A and B are shown apart, each in its own frame.
Chain A
Amino acid sequence: MRLTRLTPHERANIAFGGFTASAALVIMAVLAFIVWDVLSQGLPRLSWEFVSAAPRDGMTAGGIFPAIFGTVLLVLIMTAAVIPVGVITAIFLFEYAKPDSLFARAVRSAVYNLAGVPSIVFGLFGVGFFIQFVGGNLDRLFSDGQVIWGQPAILWAALTLAVLTLPVVIVATEEALRTVPREHREAALALGSTRFEALWKVVLPQAVPGILTGAILAVARGAGETAPILFTGAAYFLPHLPTSGHDQFMHLGYHVYVLATQSPDIEATKPILYGTVLVLLLVTVILNLLAIGLRNRLRKQRA
């Protein structure tokens, strides 16, 4: 009986435990550093004017309200587009398609591949498909050669982001549908429901929290992405807010990029840069909290 001495196995266990814990610690440290850096440099910059006014004096003064507005609007349009398409695709894949049919396999592999495409490629896709093809043809058909839709715009940027976040929503929705017990579908069908009624009245209500989780992930991803909107609608500076789908918009992520790379006076813009980063983080957190709050309320209603 030894009480104080450790066996080699025990020593190895402790060593490996310490090793894994240190890896986890590195992640914590990186996050803590980022948050500390952004807070310490960005917080002094935050003021009512900063979040409510437009930039002035070549972006060395004033606020970033147009970029906040543009980011939130962009994410909302994106969400409105990606949820229906993603949910309906997932319903098709999980409820209707034969799992081993050629079409279902093709759709599924397309979804997985879509998730692996670099985001700048989505930007180029947005230009080629939404702006030139869809927008260009809309102009040709409806606006007598005037360029209205065939140029970068918030709608095209939002749809490009929607394509980017589609896999997230599809996978989360499929997961949510999988958690609904088979017994509930059988019970609904045995009572004389059509498959659609079983889906609509029994399966989907139970899947809603999981679908909202997908929406949360999509929002988190979409709010931070900058590459896909570079060419599809984000603007360097705009004197007024977007009022229709074919207007351009300012965006927090793009604003950060602009301030960091395009400013003639980097020392003057640096505090604004940090303030903008902080606001971008806050906007993402708030959008997420809204979605999480909605999900929790729906969960409570059913509990």
Chain B
Amino acid sequence: MTNHWRDIQNADLILIAGANPAECHPVGFRWFMEAKKRGAKMIHIDPRFTRTSAVSDVYARIRTGTDAAFFGALINYVLQNDLHQKDYVARYTNAALIVKEGFGFKDGLFTGFDGSDPKNPKYDTSTWNYELDDQSFAKTDPTLQNPRSVFQLLKTHYSRYTPEMQASITGIPVDQFMQIAKLVGEMGRPDKVMTLVYAVGLTHHTTGAQMIRSAALLQLILGNMGLPGGGMNAERGHANIQGNTDNAISWENLPGYLGIPRPGQKTIDDYIKATAPKKLRPDSWNYLGTNYRNFLVSLLKAWYGDAATKDNDFAFNYIPKPAGNSSWLTIFNQAYTGKMQGYFALGMSPVSIGPDVNRIIESLKKLKWLVIMDPFPNTTSEFWHAPGVDPKTVGTEVFMLPATHWIEKDGSFTNSGRWAQWKEAAVGPSGEARHDHWILAELFLKVRELYQKEGGKFPDPILNMTMNYKNPLRPEMDEIAQEINGFDLTKKERVAGFAVLKDDGTTASGNWIYAGSYPQTLNGQPVGKGGLMARQGTEDPTGMGYFHNWAWSWPANRRVLYNRASADGDGNPWNPKKPGIKWDADKKSWVGDVPDYPATMDPKDPKAWLPFIMTGEGTARLFSTTLMADGPFPEHYEPMESPIANPLHPQVQNSPMVMLYDGVKDTFGTAKEFPFVATTYRLTEHEHYLTQWVEHLVKLQPEPFVEIPLDVAKDKGIQSGDMVRVWNKRGKIEVRALVTGRLGALDLEGRKVYQIGIPIHWGFVGLAAEQNKDKAKYWLVNALSPYVGDVGARTPEFKSYQVNLEKISSGKPV
């Protein structure tokens, strides 16, 4: 989230798409309801009517996988009706920047596409950039009239997204779309603000990243980024998924979102040149680009200590450089093709997660060894004797390492709103269970011993990695928290923030965005265990819900990202009643939230920096030059399995940059064979797959089911409680039917299309499975999902695919 849970109370309009907070984040949802109490309106866009819809002012049923068309049409409506926040768009976004001659978009493709090798589609992105002047700064037209200005290109790009066009794609009728557009359009007023809330309903698509980007573009032209009550707010689905994204258990990052080095980057210089943002305007601070080297060198000092010196380029060559995309789908494809020997699953179960779990199971069978670190058995630890699998044929060695769980250890969790909260251990480990970090520390030290004794390939990073803990076999969370924050190595004190990190080897910081979470002192007082993350102050002096003394949020305890944009050019809040930060001329400093700007920089100073200090442009980007794989502007492409031809450009049905792993194409079916659009989701009573071990929750939601719209049920003779089979080319599930009015027909140019809904939580392991041994064989929903992902992130397309369904037997009416 750019903002945070409590901040949603400040919104005038709440637009929720691809999320169901009332059921999936019920306690966070209290702040949506608080906003409503204060007069806010709420719009819910979802394939399925849920409890979130029930308390919304408008609910619109959308076809799954089409949100980019919906947001595109809203962008078009706002621009055509001149409802955008004019000052904000002109000065706080890159609308005025001039794009290179030759850039264009035609028939579904941006310039530079090369599809000659279908296995490796490419874009030559040289035209996806700005026209530069002789100082290498981007040329601008502050009037936004230049036809090659980002603003005019944006307008042209989205002019195709009429209300009628979006209706033919999304299924949201024109009159209902207009009702929504009017509400949204009002949010372009400087004193109005909309929050945009989403979850994996927007990420789980081949076009997921661009869907989210299209929503962000809408927020930018409405001037809603950086404001309290505004922003782009991803509800995250696991207790510390935000924190460990920050800590870079992600193939493409190092901690703090520093890019993973790529082959060809032989030195830090090469890496910085390729990775750090470049200053593109004379008055852009380019804070990230300027400090990238400080952050990287401090990370290398934290990891490799005295072995990282100026002379060896701070051990830059210790960091492995991946050949290409190495994300989730690629990992299991490597296993599937026999190239992976060993795999660790820590607190997650690929056999439940999928996609295409039958393919995942085949992949696991090809491993030499598999390690599961978990407090409970799961479908991955038990895959070798899963229903239908003969253990004698599975040559994989399996290590089940019992791990402690959250209540048995201290440490910090970072929530969706970036608040890192320190928790204490309530009790010690159960049985022989061990903490995950102790397991990894001991395993690492044992591997180090082997390299010390025997030598081996490039032992340097293993021999030199720091383990500066009182007991290296048993590091304390608090010691690691201090390492993450970082130290001034000369003074031997913890740093107060990332601003003091250096590139000369005199500072170490494991994750620069957490620098300041654990300073040496605060207001002259020493800071104790858990650092500022352990704070429990409940005061809220501004009344805006920042709670700066409760825990700590990254970066720098800032509660709303990009908050410089919450004030106008003179430093006055766009809406004085809901200030983010404000320039106080008497104090000569910014007041309110922790400013995303130099604390004492007078906005009226002619040399004042542009508002978005992290980008080279100094502004937000409506046009993305290099970061998106399939285009600088989001475009709607159909899911890989879809019921219709893409109305925008039938000849370019799917994203041209979709990468298909070998054999996957054969697993796709047509809408003729599989006429129903399927989408998946969570229920209030379960958390992913873990809660299959919690008796109360299993009693509340004992069995898997599929939600079927009334018309389809009637047509197929299905009643609630009947057993049904849902299948496609990849697999099948056999579960109970729940016939419901929550799902219904979509009218796509006169053709009726139906969606069915499938909750995800069941498999062949857990309390419910033990009571239903025969049935549980076909409870893994992700037997159905396709092995394909987003063109950049490779997030699997869990949320949109085609199925067929039939009744198996009658059940008890429910």
**B and A form one assembly:** no
Q: Which residues of B contact A (CB under 8 A)?
A: none
